[in-house]
Amino acid sequence: MKTNRELAAIASQLRRDIVRMVSAAGSGHPGGSLSSADILTALYFNVMEHSPATWTRSAAGQDAFFLSAGHLAPLYYAVLARAGYFPVSELGTLRRFGSRLQGHPSVTDGLPGVHRASGSLGQGLAAAAGLALGKKMDGDSHTVYALCGDGESEEGEIWETALFAAHHGLDNLVGMTDVNHQQIDGRVEDVAGLENLSEKWLAFGWDVICADGHDFASILDAFKLAGKRDGKPKMILFETVMGKGVDFMEGTHEWHGKAPNAELAARALAQLDETLGDY
């Protein structure tokens, strides 16, 4: 188990990876990748039972993670590389022709750690629910995790999955929502007015846990609570800041899907500690 200080060091490196990857590619989605970095750091390095050496797409005998918000691929790739699923040096190939690191995660090239392609918003949570039901049927006691965005939660498939998971008592399914209040067109509250997400998930029959998505004590406590098997799926609502860690990206939708140029990337990297070595 990592200490909270060690987790913070990993998260800082992941944020550096994200900035460097997106800047070099000239395209990508840094804002949400930065806001979710602490969540996936805790999940992969302290919570999930997983192993690159024995990983399979079926996730038999292991926990599994689905990135429903597929545009957060820079973070996903950085986490997988730093967790040992493929060489860290491969991060430099993001979005290049022939690269396994496509703009949204794909299974076509057999990238280790990726259970399914994602990018069509709403589908990742549905796929995670399907795997969770499969694990129940197979007698596999492991957990399935899925990360969604609050903007993504405007998708109807999210709520179809909410009904399905509650109906089947999928208490081995842990959904996570990065509540950073931003999406590509502006503030989530202005685009579709989700209002109280906690009340919505409760109404759909889920257990709801609210946490600070940038405080590792809060994040780990939330995952511990989500481990309770009580016949209900779990949704953790992580309150975060879009673009966390880079001052000019924080709290705005403008960096949802825009790459920093070399000058701005250097400014961003100056704010983030290099802890594991750049690729």
pLDDT computed for residue 177 by the predictor: 98
State CA 156 to chain mean position distance: 20
What is the reported pTM? 0.96
| Domain that residue 250 falls in | 4-269
Q: Residue 62 maps to which CATH number? A: 3.40.50.970
pLDDT computed for residue 188 by the predictor: 83
Residues in the chain: 279
pLDDT computed for residue 186 by the predictor: 82
pLDDT computed for residue 189 by the predictor: 85
Whether residue 239 is contained in a domain is answered as yes
Q: Please name which of 11, 50, 64, 10 lies closest in space to residue 33, comparing C-alpha atoms.
A: 11
User: What does the angle CA 271 – CA 275 – CA 279 come to, to the nearest 5 degrees?
Assistant: 95
Quote the CA–CA distance of 13 and 32 in Å, as a whole number.
16
Whether residue 277 is contained in a domain is answered as no
Report the interhelical angle of 262-269 vs 4-25 (nearest 10°). 170
Place of tokens 């429903």: 68
Strand-pair category, 64-67 with 144-149: parallel
pLDDT computed for residue 171 by the predictor: 98
Count: domains in the chain? 1
Alpha helices in the chain (DSSP H): 4-25, 30-35, 37-42, 73-82, 123-138, 156-167, 188-191, 197-203, 216-226, 262-269
What count of Cα atoms within 13 Å lies in the side-chain half-sphere of residue 163? Answer: 4
C-beta of residue 71 within 8 angstroms of C-beta of residue 104? yes
Whether residue 276 is contained in a domain is answered as no
Looking at residue 278, the DSSP 8-state letter turns out to be -
Place of tokens 């946490």: 211
Q: Please name which of 159, 125, 160 lies closest in space to residue 144, comparing C-alpha atoms.
A: 125
Quote the CA–CA distance of 57 and 39 in Å, as a whole number.
22
Tell me: the pLDDT tens digits for 59-105?
Answer: 999 999 999 999 999 999 999 999 999 999 999 999 999 999 999 99
Q: Please name which of 97, 96, 93, 131 lies closest in space to residue 115, comparing C-alpha atoms.
A: 131
Supply the mean pLDDT for the chain.
Answer: 96
Whether residue 240 is contained in a domain is answered as yes
Whether residue 197 is contained in a domain is answered as yes
Quote the CA–CA distance of 156 and 261 in Å, as a whole number.
36
pLDDT computed for residue 165 by the predictor: 98
Whether residue 278 is contained in a domain is answered as no
Whether residue 245 is contained in a domain is answered as yes
Whether residue 279 is contained in a domain is answered as no
Tell me: the pLDDT tens digits for 113-142?
Answer: 999 999 889 999 999 999 999 999 999 999
In the chain, which residues have pLDDT < 70? Answer: none
